[in-house]
Amino acid sequence: MSFRNFAATGLIASLLWSASAVAEPAPDLDTPERINILVTFGDDECPEAQGDEIVVCAQRPESERYRIPPELRESEEEQSGEQSWSSVVASHDEAARPGRPGSCSVVGTFGFTGCQAAIMRQWFDERRTEQ
């Protein structure tokens, strides 16, 4: 038996096997056609299921109707460590400084040009902490 005949036989066998696997019907599952998941507030009633439908309702107080859902609100831990926007911008600026021109580093274009500015920033920071 030559290699071509062997390969052709293998190809035909694999095609027949895959065709038989595809021909099997999927098992018939009794799943509902629609599932409604709703949140109702205050005295709102949950709608009734129609036919093959499943309705799931969560009841919340009326005071929560126009609020951001609790799972999406900021946690207390995040609020206690809040920083001002200026300090957030300053920290981002410091993190990005080594890759920019004028950074006083070997990284970035013209990195050596910012050494005098870095010395001045350091001097002002030291003076600020002394007072």
* CB-CB contact of 37 with 59 (8 Å): no
Residue 1 lies in a domain: no
* C-alpha 106, offset from chain centre: 35
Residue 9 lies in a domain: no
Structure tokens at 6: 């062997």
* 3-state class (DSSP) for residue 59: strand
Residue 6 lies in a domain: no
46 burial level (CB within 10 Å; 0-12, 13-18, 19+): middle
pTM over 0.75: no
Residue 45 lies in a domain: yes
What b-and-e string marks burial along 20-31, b requiring 16 or more CB atoms within 10 Å of the CB? eeeeeeeeeeee
Residue 126 lies in a domain: yes
Residue 24 lies in a domain: no
Q: How many domains does the structure of the chain reveal?
A: 2
The residue segments making up the domain with residue 113 are 95-131
What's the pLDDT tens digit per position in 63-112?
988 888 877 877 655 555 677 888 888 888 878 877 777 777 776 667 67
**How much of the chain exceeds pLDDT 90, in percent?**
6
Give the β-pairing of 34-41 and 53-60: parallel
